[in-house]
Amino acid sequence: MHTASSQENQGLVVRAFLGDAEKCELVPQGKGAPVGELPLERLHESGFFELFIPGAHEVFPYQLRITRHNGGQSQAHDPYAFLPTLGELDLHLFNEGTHARIYEKLGSHPCVHDGVAGTAFAVWAPMARRVSVVGDFNAWDGRYHMMRTLGASGVWEIFIPGVYSGARYKYEILGPNEPAPFLKSDPYAVRFEPPPHNASIVCSLGGYTWQDAAWLAQRAAADWQRKPISVYELHLGSWKCVPEEGGRPLNYRELASQLPAYLTGMGFTHVELMPPAEHPFDGSWGYQVTGFYAPTQRFGTPHDFMSLVDALHAAGIGVIVDWVPAHFPRDTFALEAFDGTHLYEHADPRQGAHLDWGTLIFNYGRHEVRAFLTGSALAWLDRFHVDGLRVDAVASMLYLDYSRKEGEWIPNCHGGRENLEAIHFLRHTNELVHQHFPGALMIAEESTSFAGVTRPVHEGGLGFDLKWNMGWMHDTLKYLSKDPLYRKWHHNLLTFGMLYQYSEKFVQVFSHDEVVHGKGSMLNKMPQPDISGRAQNLRAFYALMWAWPGKKTLFMGNEFGQYAEWKYDQSLDWHLLRHPPHEGLRLLVRDLNKLYREDEALASNEQFPGGFQWLEANDADNSVLTFLRLCDAGGPAWVIAVNFTPVERSYRIGVPYDGQWHEAINTDAPAYGGHGAGNLGSVTADTGFAWNNQPHSLHARLPSMSTLIFRHP
């Protein structure tokens, strides 16, 4: 229904397309409506009807009584009898790029509008000539539910009565230059059907009763910079499978019953889910996202995903999800050329095409695109109660010349290589996350020396809480790949990281990226010829990682020495735990996490220079490192001794306190698959025997290829 006027007549016009209708009558309802039923005139044999009501000025509620060709009759609400569900303020903030909850307005939302149940649809397609909602409820015919454009906002909307959760739909769009319409899935949808059709599904997120209020309250009060964070990175599709059902992966509910117990038993504080958002291609591991608001349907419904998060929170495990605002795939059903123009992506391939991955780059300078992406970040935290986002491929966002040759990129307005729009977007998103979700973590996967990634925005930084330490990871893996005979020539690879350790708030990480594409598993990166020797080397390395300052992230399977490279479509090789080298690695990681969490006072100082002190950094000939980890005021202290040669050594180590130093971790312990060499559980310092610029010292036995952590008191 809409108003119509001319020099002769003023009134309201009602039009309806009813393809199988013989006749149609308007049935007025409610106060202010005309009295009696009014027949609509059939203007076209296809089923197009119209009624002009002269003298009427106010829209009134009504229904349409439809008589079909077969004589059947029904009565239903007309979608065009309802006013828009979006207000002017919503549209203004969206066009401005500052709407913090745009996901509550765009997309599909089951609701009751003017007392009638149905679903409100809204989509941004500013250059489209026509947009229709098509789906199960209208035989996928775009003539039934053509949407209305809301002024100059570029937003199209319609409320369709009688459409409920579970209905499949897409948008049928006629672009500015196309002769025929095309179909697109809903960018804001929270549920999708599987490929190849990829239809969006109307879904109400209400009805789930969260049980994690206490967890969220303590998270909001936590200072994660001063608390232990040990993250288990997990791929949902390959952690565990069900052999009896063809090797299918566990679903969300099954994960909820098994994963929390495993993580708590292992001592991890958080789990990081490789992108759980909807994606069409399994082989992308989730990093080519088509549904930025939707948990993938592969493992269940959005409510099932909520139950997984809830179960993890009940076990005291935080949930971090990988979030991918750096690019999106070229799948034609999704964001590419969404309204027939380069809407979400740059038109110029020098700005809009990602050469490494064959994907498209978001146009961060467009307000509505920023609103879409920021809304995605906030929606995961709001709707699904996740505790943080690990932002993928930040380096590719920061630099216009990322992985590009001369002439393949366009400088910014100042002639530089920084992507100023992307930087603004990241800062804005981080500020909104911290404003609306206190205690939530924003973690950057950023591989360059870009300054201030974890510096607050008000101090000129990007505003992330933590950054993956890619440099330390590459250096240490390069060192460990060397034969121990030659390691002394590469000793600087172990020590160089301390030169920049406190330039950012770092996470020490060994992720999925290190165990794919021919790189070999963590176990097989070790140069020893046999499994036992490789496990011995890897144990020493893991203990160094946990003793080194910074938060921790370890990819699944690495904790027990998965022998083969990770495969996204197969379960981890859990049967390996029957063998001592693998079970020993798992027990070591468990005990490292336990020590790290028990001595929380050390974790509280790990992001600050006062928490670390070299004792011996230059003993390259023996491939030995010793250093101190200290609290900021009292509490326990650690002395760490690392011996990366297959030669047992008797070694003097300076210590700040006299008395007994307990051998908290010895990676050569029999329980871990080692030989049992060590110090019988503790060493007593030689009081007053100064060494390494410390007032006291202890004389320790360093087993071959081992790391020892001595604890005081």
**Cα 81 to Cα 624: distance, rounded to the nearest angstrom:** 79
Look up 272 and say whether it is catalytic: no
Is residue 392 annotated as a catalytic residue, yes or no? yes
CA angle 587, 442, 334 (to 5 degrees): 105
Collapse the DSSP code of 230 into the 3-class scheme (helix H, G, I; strand E, B; otherwise coil) and give the result.
Answer: strand
Q: Name residues whose C-beta falls within 8 Å of residue 222's C-beta, 6 or more positions apart in sequence.
A: 439
DSSP 3-state of 431: helix
Would you say 33 and 45 are in contact if contact means Cβ atoms under 8 Å apart?
no
- The tokens for 484 are 């121990």
Cα-to-chain-centroid distance, residue 653: 43
Bridge partners of residue 76, in order along the sequence: 64
Residue with tokens 């082989």: 283
Contact, 467 vs 512, CB < 8 A? no
Nearest alpha-carbon partner for 672 in 516, 562, 561: 561
How many whole angstroms separate alpha carbon 666 and alpha carbon 89?
62
Token digits of residue 177: 């230059």
Q: Rounded CA gap, 167 and 304, in Å?
A: 18
- Angular region, 679: left φ>0, alpha ψ -120 to 50, beta rest: alpha
Tell me the torsion sign for CA atoms 193, 194, 199, 205. Answer: positive
Question: Distance between alpha carbon 137 and the CA centroid of its chain, in Å?
Answer: 33
Set 78, 445, 475, 606: catalytic member: 445
| Residue 302, number of CB atoms within 10 A of its CB | 21
Which residue among 157, 278, 392, 606 is the active-site one?
392
Task: List, by residue number, the catalytic residues.
Answer: 392, 445
